[in-house]
Structure 1
Amino acid sequence: MKHIILFFIIMSFMACNNSHKELELPNILWISHEDLGPIYGAYGDEYANTPILDQLADKSIKFTQVFSNAPICAPARSTLITGMYASSLGTQHLRSDIPVPEPMKILPEVMREAGYYTSNNVKTDYNFSHEGRWDESSKEAHWRNRPEGKPFFSVFNFMITHEGPTNALRSTDTSGLKNFHDPKKAVLPPHLPDSPKMREIWAHMYDLLSVFDRQVGDLLGQLEEDGLLEETIIFVFSDHGHGLPGHKRWLDNAGLQVPFLLHVPEKYKHLVAPITAMESDRLVSFVDFAPTTLALAGVPVPDMMEGINFLAKEERKYVFGYRDRADDVYEVSRSVYDGRYLYIRHFMPHLPYYQNALIFNKGGSYAEINRLREAGDLPEATMKMFTSKPVEILYDLKTDPLEQHNLANDPKFENKIAELANELDEWMIQNRDTGLLSEGIMMQQAKGNNMSVYEISRGYPEADFSAILKAAKMVGKINKPSAILPYLASEIDAVRFWALVSLSAYKGDIGEVVPNVLSLLSDEAPAVAIKAAEILIKHEDNEAAFKLMGEMLLLDDEVQVLQAAISVRQLGIQAKPLIPLITEEVFPKYSGEIWGRYKNWSYPMFIGMALDQAQINCGLNIPVRK
């Protein structure tokens, strides 16, 4: 109640004349939080208890068609802060350390050059170094630390709604609340099993949202104390969908759509003149946030930025999404959305959503799904997570908001599928989507040429990039192995890689092309050689392939070791001959104190996670974090 009263005081204050000296430029405050879709009460969710956010929404523009470009944090945040698609920069994998182009300036750098004080409290997670790019980035960072008279651009990110607290069910995380959500009244989506445990987790997720609601009230109170409410444009948004299976990490609407409130004080309403209503269904994605923030500050948008000002007269027609490696689970999927129809293309459809990996074998909602699966009690919608994926998906989100009916094979939608598929192809080629190069190849070439991944991809002629896309689109569609022979002989590394992925997805006998695959064990691209070895081991426990895989695991290049570790995990019990090497020589290189197991939060962690699961697959008892 204290927060609600405070908020009404704040709103009343904003309606009054303010004697605070008017700033020529608006302050801009981003309030972001983790892992939640648009479930504020203001969005019509009657289960939510969000009085502060709902009152803010009454005085703000509520956007209803806003999307993260990626369903997981690091690539989403990379996109936000750069105004560039993570798939253009090569920052779409979680997590990584990507060489970025030297001329690239991220949002706070451009704002700082325009006279703004920039502060970030505290998360970065951009997949590249943030050092020197903010005036202050720390747990103490605050607009209050700025020199007197300077406008500010400040970011506060709240972790309380992250999947960790959601699944942990810690009472300490919600100890300040008086009212809690009743699990019996929870309404679960079809892809989550309706069990008492899952209802408890779902209700706790909403409790955490209520905690965040109070945190927003605290920040608004600080602005009020400083006399800055009339001088500050406020963004409130989440970084992607819920931290639960079928949301975070899933390239669908549940993983991508986010809440977004834009509060613009009266004196700055002219900056949003094209939007006259308090609710907008304009298509907006994270790549647009940086250009829009610069436009609000009257700052020219750098040429490298790929987003648009979403407050301008011209509106976006399509929103694009990407899903790539998350932890040690490798995936390449892309999406395009036109405001009603969501088209998704899976480039690795043979891999299930829910792979046999540590990130899906942990506690909370994942443990509950695994328990119910072992008991044979999972609903059909949940079981689909464990099977191969369609190559193409089309959802009509107007009639099917919960994404239960794939229309890709319905002849009535042939023209719509063709339209969206073509838009996606053109976007991937135009922006030189680095996901087509594969993580191993793009990083090998960047390192070998001492260039950024962005520059490497831009160095490909359009014809070559089109050839790579053509090869990638074969996955899941070849009728016989011999169809890939010309692609296995290509001079383009990524074409050879995708030809092998096509072979991995093929369910019949591959004997006729085994000699060709054998020849790729000596390929100049480690990613190609690793994929060839994985296929040969699965096919016939090939001795040469085991030898090659062991050599790849012992490389000094952590990126290539990670590709090998992922392949080893996917071998299941067949990885057993590699276990002595892993336990005695490989894993010790990447062990450390993170989670009591891994050396750091980047490649060594994911190498370790993949190798831990590989050891579990082969019967070893590994003390992994749950």
Structure 2
Amino acid sequence: MKNITYLFLLLNCMACNNSHKEVRQPNILWISHEDLGPIYGAYGDDYANTPILDQLAEKSIRFTQVFSNAPICAPARSTLITGIYASSLGTQHLRSDIPVPEQMKILPEVMREAGYYTSNNVKTDYNFSYEGRWDESSKEAHWRNRPDGKPFFSVFNFMITHEGPTNALRPSDTSGLKNFHDPKKANLPPHLPDSPKMREIWAHMYDLLSVFDQQVGELLGQLEEDGLLEETIVFVFSDHGHGLPGHKRWLDNAGLQVPFLLHVPEKYKNLVGNIAAPESDRLVSFVDFAPTTLALAGVSVPEIMEGVNFLAEEERKYVFGYRDRADDVYEVSRSVFDGRHLYIRHFMPHLPYYQNALIFNKGGSYAEINRLREVGDLPEATRKMFTPKPVEILYDLKTDPLEQHNLANDPKFKNKIAELADKLDGWMIENRDTGLLSEGLMIQQASVNNASVYEVSRAYPEADFKVILNVAKMVGKIKDVSQVMPYLESEIDAVRFWGLVGIDAYEGEIDAIFSQLYGMLSDEAPAVAIKAAEILIKREENKLAYKVLGEMLLLADEVQVLQAAISVRQLGAKANPLIPLIKEEVFPKYSGDIWGRYRSWSYPMFIGMALDQAQINCGLDIPVKK
């Protein structure tokens, strides 16, 4: 790589070199990395050592209000590459294989039709097939492989900052650094315990950011070598918050806010004429990246895209977020942010964020939290991760940037909560949020109708979707089980499902609806029957419910099996009657070489993880990866 100081001198004087040149379509380069919030030095973090990024920021637009729409990689990346909310496509779960509309063209396909060479190096993780959608997607993919004279859209995804390296503490990952961050100077957030181990992990996370900083310099150096610096618009961003508890997987600002630098060469400054300052506080989210990239290239935005050009004159007033299944941990949470106040609604508030699941029993920061929990030495903010969640949360990020004070019950914020709750409801209905259908139901209906999940959700009349949403909003607020009884007889599968979720969250007596629950064990929708069986086993260890849950574990549809496996895990020691079936018939179908245990990285892994934890809950010694 050529001297990086020279590189930025070149960036600084580009204006004097291009006035006589013909302005052509810009090349566009996305440089993304994993699992870090906005902690570059350019964002005011004195602990960070990011000289390349900081110099780039001086010649770029530094956006301060940019958000992933999901706090975990697959739904975040699905949203990025499609310009469509993952919750609209059904791609909001981690990890899955979702039927998408045949007519849908993702960003590289539209760019390719406009004459661009498109390359991706190398991560996809879209929750649908990427085959045929790029000119090249591989470890060797590079703009240098394009035909002469073609403009390019290239993506480079750097994984060094992923939660894996962050928590593994491997010296080999940072062997190229000369200076390391001092753990004693680490400034931990309140929700992480202040222990020597956690400080070491936090410092290592910043070391990995320094490695990424070097990688950015190498890539920019390649642009310089090719004479393309003044021909290329560069995006630099992370895919969501830090790869640590309370960040990744958590639907809050710590999980959603990301850094974003937009470098626009002088000859293309007219394309960002609405942003005069080197810093912008415009609200931007990942759903907007594809439409904005197309606008920069002078390409029309497909109607199916739900994002907007964030460089246009009209600015967003709200950004939305979603968190659904991650690995074998179910969740349905949604958020809306207005630039100051973050409103979060939990549709499964009875399930803590930090569940009894293998993903939370691995090494690094999770092992340290589990160790401190066993000895009773966790701070209150960490202990909250293990408890049921509030149904509603409101944070004022101006006065409470670390999100420690929930204002949802403060009468002074009644109007703000009503405003944001209404915006969230409207967004979910308008975009037919597939999280309301549940993963099992949406896949079943897509299969029966030979359609995409997107098309299935849009086939619901608005009135029906409003009913589903209203029943889902009852979860955690039910005062008497009689409130739910009418919904258990609904003709709409999703209404029956959410009625059952409400019962699962209800801590009072449910004797009055046992007969309805027995009838629902034979429901035509497996997702409904599975949930009814889970509730009956939790409440009375019902023999017929065990039989039904066992039958569901043997289905051919892996999505339904996954829900059944998660329900079995949720039973704790009460899952014991199912252990022989799991060991002899179910688990062998999903075993393989991934992590030395599972058949693939998708549904079979998560089914296997849920069944492994279920066996551990029943006292078995299972050789799982830590």
Using the size of structure 2 for normalisation, the TM-score is: 0.99
What amino acid sits opposite 2:337 in the alignment? Answer: Y
Quick check: 2:15–2:267 contact (8 Å CA) kept in 1? no
Alignment map for 1:580-599 (pairs within 5 Å): 580-599=580-599
Distance 2:280 2:481 in 1: 50
Distance 1:362 1:4 in 2: 39
SS in 2 for 1:524: coil
Distance 1:514 1:245 in 2: 38
Match of 1:198 in 2: 198
Please say if 1:129 is aligned against 2:162: no
Match of 1:437 in 2: 437
TM-aligned CA deviation for residue 348 of structure 1: 0.1
What amino acid sits opposite 2:430 in the alignment? Answer: Q
Match of 2:11 in 1: 11
Distance 1:349 1:3 in 2: 53
Match of 1:221 in 2: 221
SS in 1 for 2:30: strand
Match of 2:457 in 1: 457
Alignment map for 1:320-335 (pairs within 5 Å): 320-335=320-335
Quick check: 2:19–2:267 contact (8 Å CA) kept in 1? no
Deviations 1:475-518 (A, max 9, x none): 00010111100000000000000000000000111111111111
Quick check: 2:28–2:154 contact (8 Å CA) kept in 1? yes
| Alignment length (residue pairs) | 626
Match of 1:398 in 2: 398
Distance 1:61 1:314 in 2: 18
Distance 1:23 1:350 in 2: 57
Alignment map for 1:203-214 (pairs within 5 Å): 203-214=203-214
Structure 2 gap ranges (5+): none
What amino acid sits opposite 1:98 in the alignment? Answer: I
Match of 2:513 in 1: 513
Match of 1:338 in 2: 338
Match of 1:189 in 2: 189
Match of 2:386 in 1: 386
What amino acid sits opposite 1:589 in the alignment? Answer: K
Distance 1:406 1:329 in 2: 24
Alignment map for 1:531-570 (pairs within 5 Å): 531-570=531-570
Deviations 1:147-185 (A, max 9, x none): 000000000000000000000000000000000000000
What amino acid sits opposite 2:550 in the alignment? Answer: G
Distance 1:346 1:14 in 2: 50
Match of 1:277 in 2: 277
Quick check: 1:520–1:528 contact (8 Å CA) kept in 2? yes
Structure 1 gap ranges (5+): none
Match of 2:147 in 1: 147
What amino acid sits opposite 1:242 in the alignment? Answer: H
Distance 2:401 2:116 in 1: 41
Distance 2:275 2:380 in 1: 43
Q: How big is the alpha-carbon RMSD for the aligned residues of Structure 1 and Structure 2?
A: 1.2
What amino acid sits opposite 1:245 in the alignment? Answer: P
TM-aligned CA deviation for residue 8 of structure 1: 3.5
Please say if 1:164 is aligned against 2:156: no
Distance 2:557 2:411 in 1: 48
Match of 1:486 in 2: 486
Match of 1:474 in 2: 474
What amino acid sits opposite 2:608 in the alignment? Answer: G
Using the TM superposition, name which of 15-24 and 532-541 deviates more.
Answer: 15-24
Deviations 1:283-331 (A, max 9, x none): 0000000000000000000000000000000000000000000000000
Distance 2:352 2:288 in 1: 31
Quick check: 2:4–2:221 contact (8 Å CA) kept in 1? no
Match of 1:256 in 2: 256
Please say if 1:119 is aligned against 2:119: yes
Please say if 1:428 is aligned against 2:428: yes
SS in 1 for 2:31: strand
Quick check: 1:23–1:151 contact (8 Å CA) kept in 2? no
Distance 1:507 1:184 in 2: 45
Match of 1:622 in 2: 622
Distance 1:101 1:209 in 2: 37
TM-aligned CA deviation for residue 203 of structure 1: 0.1
Quick check: 2:538–2:571 contact (8 Å CA) kept in 1? yes
What amino acid sits opposite 1:434 in the alignment? Answer: T
SS in 2 for 1:307: coil
Quick check: 1:108–1:134 contact (8 Å CA) kept in 2? yes
TM-aligned CA deviation for residue 12 of structure 1: 4.9
Quick check: 2:101–2:452 contact (8 Å CA) kept in 1? yes
What amino acid sits opposite 1:217 in the alignment? Answer: G
Quick check: 1:10–1:221 contact (8 Å CA) kept in 2? no
Q: Structure 1's 482 and 515: CA in aligned 2 closer, same or farther, altered over 3 A?
A: same
Quick check: 2:7–2:224 contact (8 Å CA) kept in 1? no
What amino acid sits opposite 1:269 in the alignment? Answer: K
Distance 1:334 1:196 in 2: 34
Distance 1:506 1:35 in 2: 35
Deviations 1:402-423 (A, max 9, x none): 0000000000000000000000
TM-aligned CA deviation for residue 194 of structure 1: 0.2
What amino acid sits opposite 1:274 in the alignment? Answer: N
Quick check: 1:318–1:339 contact (8 Å CA) kept in 2? yes
TM-aligned CA deviation for residue 579 of structure 1: 0.3
TM-aligned CA deviation for residue 345 of structure 1: 0.1
Quick check: 1:3–1:214 contact (8 Å CA) kept in 2? no
TM-aligned CA deviation for residue 5 of structure 1: 3.2
SS in 2 for 1:486: helix
Deviations 1:217-253 (A, max 9, x none): 0000000000000000000000000000000000000
Distance 1:11 1:442 in 2: 50
Match of 2:571 in 1: 571
Match of 2:350 in 1: 350
Distance 1:293 1:106 in 2: 12
Distance 1:510 1:157 in 2: 50
Quick check: 1:22–1:231 contact (8 Å CA) kept in 2? no
Deviations 1:374-405 (A, max 9, x none): 00000000000000000000000000000000
Deviations 1:587-623 (A, max 9, x none): 0000001010000011000000000000000011111
TM-aligned CA deviation for residue 9 of structure 1: 4.6
What amino acid sits opposite 2:340 in the alignment? Answer: R
TM-aligned CA deviation for residue 21 of structure 1: 6.8
Match of 1:230 in 2: 230
Match of 1:529 in 2: 529
Deviations 1:89-119 (A, max 9, x none): 0000000000000000000000000000000
Distance 1:527 1:468 in 2: 15
Match of 1:359 in 2: 359
What amino acid sits opposite 1:160 in the alignment? Answer: I
Match of 1:600 in 2: 600
TM-aligned CA deviation for residue 14 of structure 1: 3.6
SS in 2 for 1:31: strand
Deviations 1:200-222 (A, max 9, x none): 00000000000000000000000
Quick check: 1:521–1:548 contact (8 Å CA) kept in 2? yes
Match of 2:414 in 1: 414
